[in-house]
Copies of this chain bind each other. A is one copy, B any other.
Amino acid sequence: MTAKGTLFGLGLGPGDPELITLKALRLLRAAPVVAYPAPTGGTSFARSIVADFLVSDQIELRVDVPMNPDPQFALAAYEIGAEAIAQHLAVGRDVALLCQGDPFFYGSFMYMFGLLAKRFRVEVVPGVSSVMAAAAATGVPLVCRDDVMTIVPATLPVEELENRLEAASGIAILKLGRHFAKVRACLDRLGLLDRARYVERVSLPEQRILRVADVDPLSVPYFSMILVHRREDPWASEES
């Protein structure tokens, strides 16, 4: 009987290929099968991060994920993808599943993990989160000493978003996209606009860092975030 393969969930960081870890690079190159999600008809962001590191004889397994707003379509796609991965694992082939950012931090890897972790050995390799990369890019420390850090998706209702913003020292608001205008209005009401920075496509050549007031709400991609600092220390008010 063949021993089953291992599924490696590889965190690849925010996008700069140099921000992948030595461990992810080693496991990526050693894997006979490399799987990654990709929007139907489009290119895979996760694959683009490591395109220069792939080995020529690796089997590539593209998991097509439809961009339909109804999550049932994506879930069905992940089920199909998980089954394709399972077929390789079942015959003893390790599979490297590529994950932008960190696999267990708001990633689609969670769906695959939920579908495969009970049947196969899974090892998760943590990656640099876009939150830490965005703080580094803005040049403003995220949290220190007794600060509380809260990470919220922009999809939350206005009231909850405002409560969160009032309660933490450092806040990262993720998944902005079409929720940007709502978030900007919340920051404005709370008098936090001057303490907020908008970061788009962090660590990539097209990275942009803007004051929230200077952002065109119609141009905000999903891969963007706002960092807010409520601290009163000398660095919080520093201009970037």
Q: Mark A92-117, 1 if CB is under 8 A from B, else 0.
A: 00000000001111110010011001
A149 is an interface residue with CB less than 8 A from chain B: yes
Using A22-B17, A114-B234, A143-B105 as known contacts, say yes or no to A126 and B135 having CB atoms under 8 A apart.
Answer: yes
Contact at B18–A22, with CB atoms within 8 Å?
yes
Question: Considering residues A18, A105, A135, A164, which has the most beta carbons from chain B within 10 angstroms of its beta carbon?
Answer: A105
Chain B contacts for A107, CB-based, 8 A:
144
Contact at B11–A132, with CB atoms within 8 Å?
yes
A235 is an interface residue with CB less than 8 A from chain B: yes
Contact at A124–B148, with CB atoms within 8 Å?
no
Chain B contacts for A85, CB-based, 8 A:
none
Contacts beyond the supplied A11-B128, A103-B136: 9 A-B pairs with Cβ under 8 Å: A18-B23, A18-B26, A19-B22, A19-B126, A22-B22, A105-B143, A146-B156, A148-B156, A149-B151
Residues of A within 8 A of B (CB): 9, 11, 13-14, 16-23, 25-26, 102-107, 110, 113-114, 117, 122, 124-129, 132-133, 135-136, 139-153, 155-156, 164, 167-168, 233-235, 238
